[in-house]
Amino acid sequence: MKNIRGKSSKTKKYISFMIVPHNSDKIIKWKIANLHSKLLILFAVFIIAVLAFSNYLAATIRENRELKKAQEELYAFISEQKSIVEKNLSVISEVENLDNITREKIDEFALQVNYLTQNYIEKEMKTLTVSRSSALSNPAVSFVGKIAELKAILNFLEQADIKEDELFSELAGIREELTDYLNHLPILWPTEGKIESGYGNRLHPIYGRFMEHTGVDIGGKTGNPVYAAAAGTVIAAGKNGGYGYCVDIDHGNGLVTRYAHCSKIMVRKWQKVKAGEEIAKVGNTGVSTGPHLHFEIRLNDRPIDPTMFIGNKP
């Protein structure tokens, strides 16, 4: 055979794939031409890229759907909240109108009660300075009925507070003020028993001549409890001439009560006492004909008829 000088034969290039089984000696081989392998690799890369893009596109679509659903839910929530806010604004507007009306009523009622508590007692106190003769001839001067009116107002305010009525709940301070007024008015019967000798001019049982009786004598047994007719401060506690063992209590507003002829004193000077608190025992000390309580009410250091406050019967 004759060789042609200057020329060489071309050798084909292949890529071999081999599979070697573990349980067999037979080896499986594939031979792929270099051009074909490039095309195969290019095709594989294309397929992988398409699959990746498809997954990305699917994920994006799914995410967009979820976002759209979330937006729809958010829009529905916002719409619902907007509706609630609009309703609340309407309710608030109505409440504000009602509150304005209520405030006006409270202010109006508070002014009325304030007038009663601040001016009423002061006004009625002036009626207590009338002469004894006019007091005796005109029973209407008695303060008992006026006190009953104040008690009725207080009871009304207490009932309103129990019911938690908003209209009157703000009047709690006024109720406390009215309660304080009543607690310091000597309206409680000071001991068990009946009035045996009244207030005014009388024939003195010991001196045998007509004299002014500055209080009332309430009959009783020695040792019976004597109670404070109202809240106040003890300004005297001890022996006091013909009064015997005596207690004086200052209730404010110029009012002082006196409890005389006691057998025992149970309080001391400057002690604070409550209405109805036991302060002494009924006795027969001082200028006295028998066990009883001499009870006085003094207004600006002048005696007045106690029955104007406590009435004629317990």
Distance between CA atoms of 304 and 134, rounded to whole angstroms? Answer: 12
Per-residue pLDDT tens for 85-136? Answer: 667 666 666 666 655 655 665 566 556 555 555 555 555 545 544 434 444 4
Which whole number is the average pLDDT over 48-67? Answer: 83
Distance between CA atoms of 232 and 253, rounded to whole angstroms? Answer: 11
Per-residue pLDDT tens for 207-225? Answer: 778 888 999 999 999 999 9
- What pLDDT is recorded for position 114? 55
- Intra-chain end-to-end CA distance of the chain, in Å: 162
**From the centroid of its chain, how far is CA 156?**
18
Amino acid identity for residue 99 in this structure: D
The tokens for 198 are 């009244």
Ramachandran area for residue 127 (φ above 0: left; ψ -120 to 50: alpha; else beta): alpha
pLDDT tier, 189 (very low <50, low <70, confident <90, very high otherwise): very high
* Residue 43 neighbours by CB distance under 10 Å: 10
Distance between CA atoms of 202 and 135, rounded to whole angstroms? Answer: 16
**Second-level CATH architecture of 195-310:** Distorted Sandwich (2.70)
Supply the angle between the helices 34-115 and 172-183 in degrees, to the nearest 10.
Answer: 30
Spell out the domain ranges in the chain: 113-183, 195-310
Pairing of strands 225-227, 292-299: unpaired
- What pLDDT is recorded for position 146? 65
Average pLDDT value over all residues in the chain: 75
pLDDT tier, 276 (very low <50, low <70, confident <90, very high otherwise): very high
Distance between CA atoms of 237 and 258, rounded to whole angstroms? Answer: 10
Give burial (CB, 10 Å; 0-12/13-18/19+) of 161. middle
Q: Pick the range with the lowest mean pLDDT from 152-161, 230-239, 301-310.
A: 152-161
- What pLDDT is recorded for position 54? 83
* Residue 122 neighbours by CB distance under 10 Å: 10
Number of H helices and number of E strands within the chain? 7, 15
- Res 229 pLDDT > 60: yes
Q: Sign of torsion, CA 50 56 59 65?
A: negative
Q: Is 30 helix (H, G, I), strand (E, B) or coil?
A: strand
For residue 267, which of 239, 291, 298, 236 has the smallest C-alpha distance? 236
Which whole number is the average pLDDT over 229-233? Answer: 94
The tokens for 54 are 């498809």
Of all residues in the chain, what percent carry a pLDDT higher than 70? 58
Distance between CA atoms of 46 and 23, rounded to whole angstroms? Answer: 36
- Res 243 pLDDT > 80: yes
- What pLDDT is recorded for position 105? 56
- What pLDDT is recorded for position 308? 84
- What pLDDT is recorded for position 200? 86
- What pLDDT is recorded for position 225? 97
Evaluate if pTM is beyond 0.85: no
